[in-house]
Amino acid sequence: MSIPENVKGAVDFDPWLTPFAQVLSERRNLADKWVHDLTHATPDGSYQSLVKFTRDSYLSYGFHADARTKEIRYKEWAPNARQAFLIGDFNGWNETSHELKHKDEFGNFSITVPPTSAGDFAIPHDSKIKVMFVLPDGSKIYRIPAWIKRATQPDKETAKLFGPIYEGRFWNPPKPYEFKNKRPSFNEKADSLRIYEAHIGISSPEPKIASYKEFTRDVLPRIKHLGYDAIQLMAIMEHAYYASFGYQVTNFFAISSRFGTPEDLKELVDTAHGMGILVLLDVVHSHASKNVEDGLNNFDGSDHQYFHSLASGRGEHPLWDSRLFNYGSFEVQRFLLSNLAFYIDVYQFDGFRFDGVTSMLYVHHGAGEHGGFSGDYNEYLSRDRSYVDEQALAYLMLANDLVDELLPKSAITIAEDVSGYPTLCLPRSMGGAGFNYRLAMALPDMWIKILKEQKDEDWDMSKIVHTLTNRRHGEKVVAYCESHDQALVGDKTLAFWLMDAAMYTDMTVLKPGTPVIDRGIALHKLIRLLTHSLGGEAYLNFEGNEFGHPEWLDFPNKNNGDSYHYARRQFNLVDDKLLRYRHLYEFDAGMQHCERQHQWLNTPQAYVSLKNESDKVIAFERNGLLFIFNFHPTQSFTDYRIGVEVAGTYKIVLNTDRKEYGGFERVDENSRFHTTDLAWNNRKNFVQVYIPSRVALVCALE
């Protein structure tokens, strides 16, 4: 069978793709055609890069103030509108004084607002602004401009009169923030990626909405101390409903005003860069809020401007109560791709975690009877176009192309995909979709299922190892035990599954540890280290979980009386030296710094030499390091024989049983393990170690 040249790299890499080569080729051809169309979309038909196309777009649409002439340009795409008028505080909300030029053949309206007679900008900085459209039937609608860079909640009096509709603002600060620090370098082939997933608003022990400035001052130093080299920021794109966790976006180019100003966020990113920390944006291009007056829904009076029409049956998400983008539309591609370029250029983000990729990839969105994926290639690569949304897949390919162009030496893109779509994380040049990583979403489900349903003595070492290592060869994953999903109300964090109510009474060091607390702290460390070292090529932790945050996460809503009690992270528990939370916190720091020094992430998969079901011991080697885990609830082992490939003397570089990690100091870290030249468990040599119950050791050649 002849393999199309444009996917030959992927098929050579994975020969099982051979029967589907033509389908893969057609899907790549669609994306490549779109790249050609977008990059040749100039009046004279000449070539422009994706970067130039997207930058020209976000510098053309929306509001732009000329510091020299004091003119303000505004451009909007609204093909269904008959007329458009700019209204706001600046003109007393006069509905006729500032009409936009009649739309062009593509549906674009524009206006240039001249300076005042005093030579100042006619629209004051941070003043309220809207666009009014007159529809073909003569009716009027009022909208926040689609490319607005700031939208704010109304004050209480305005909300009483008009409801809690967000208000557009003209953002033109007299002294824009100037970045001081360079982006940290990141080499996807060589560098590790340890991600701290965070939500600005909950990043305070106080029951309130925390700010960008507070995060910069209070949380960034903690992340630096812990040893993470990347932050993944959630809920940054403006969303009218706080309890949506940022996943019902209303204004795609505006950052959440609850947390502060655009300049505050720039300072946060810049400060993180100065600490050597990359900053990733949790970007939501999988769907959009159904809000009309402060969102994109029915923006120009039609239901199909940015989205699939409702009549098509594809315009609404069946579970999320949101609108779905029409990725095949040229203007939607412009809008979303420019959105990515905007965040990289203006806010200096270093990459993206793409939300809802599984929902995007499939016409069925992974819902209903199609919600489970067996791994059969026909589920992903069938010619049945009612299954895979090839336009959404092509958009994701373009998005990865763009990020690679914008950040040629340090691009990071992560797909939130549970389906296991083949080639998703292979380079575009090989015929893949181009993501650097996908989230290993089966791992937290495994751990919760085990903790929920099984006693310690019934844990199956082989099944645990299989789940942790069961990933597509050559396609990198981000391993994690729990993310924000497991912290939400209705679920439990691992710490809560392990220790439950005892966390409220028995975490003090002023009395001996109880069996529940001792077990919980020990297993919390082992689960994290095993996932970190065996489960992927990158690692992620959700803020607070590193120290076993005792409570779930619940945003203020009508069901809890609009309380912020659970919409916070109690970092104060770590700072209290009389509580055991600091032990888990310091272990997490020890684990991250050990990986930084010795590096096991982003290296070839481990060789697992031992999965002993009766002893509950797992042993493996990765990147020259030896990992030994004893999950047995009571049994410690002396002179336990562990196979190892490379001969030499091994020393302990990480020990979960340290006192400062909440352990019992049963391991002498001055011990050295000398190999014996005798094959054991398919390894050329062995060492003999003392491995206490519920303890893990990481050893390196001396």
Which are the catalytic amino acids?
355, 416
Pairing of strands 351-354, 412-415: parallel
Structure tokens at 486: 């497991």
- d(CA 414, CA 354) in angstroms, rounded, equals 6
Q: Which amino acid is at 457?
A: E
- d(CA 591, CA 626) in angstroms, rounded, equals 14
Q: What is the biggest distance separating any 2 CA atoms in the chain, rounded to whole angstroms? A: 91
Alpha carbon of 579 to those of 63, 542, 545, 572: distances in Å? 52, 21, 15, 10
Alpha carbon of 52 to those of 55, 341, 609: distances in Å? 5, 10, 52
> How many CB atoms lie under 10 A from the CB of residue 613?
11
Alpha carbon of 455 to those of 443, 463, 521, 691, 693: distances in Å? 19, 15, 16, 21, 15
Alpha carbon of 159 to those of 48, 84, 149, 257, 692: distances in Å? 46, 25, 21, 16, 61
Q: Which amino acid is at 561?
A: G
Q: In sequence order, which residues have a C-beta less than 8 Å from that of residue 608 and are 6 or more positions away?
A: 465, 469, 534, 618, 619, 620
What stretch of H or E contains 627?
strand 625-630
> How many CB atoms lie under 10 A from the CB of residue 559?
10
Cα angle 331, 334, 339 (rounded to 5 degrees) comes to 130
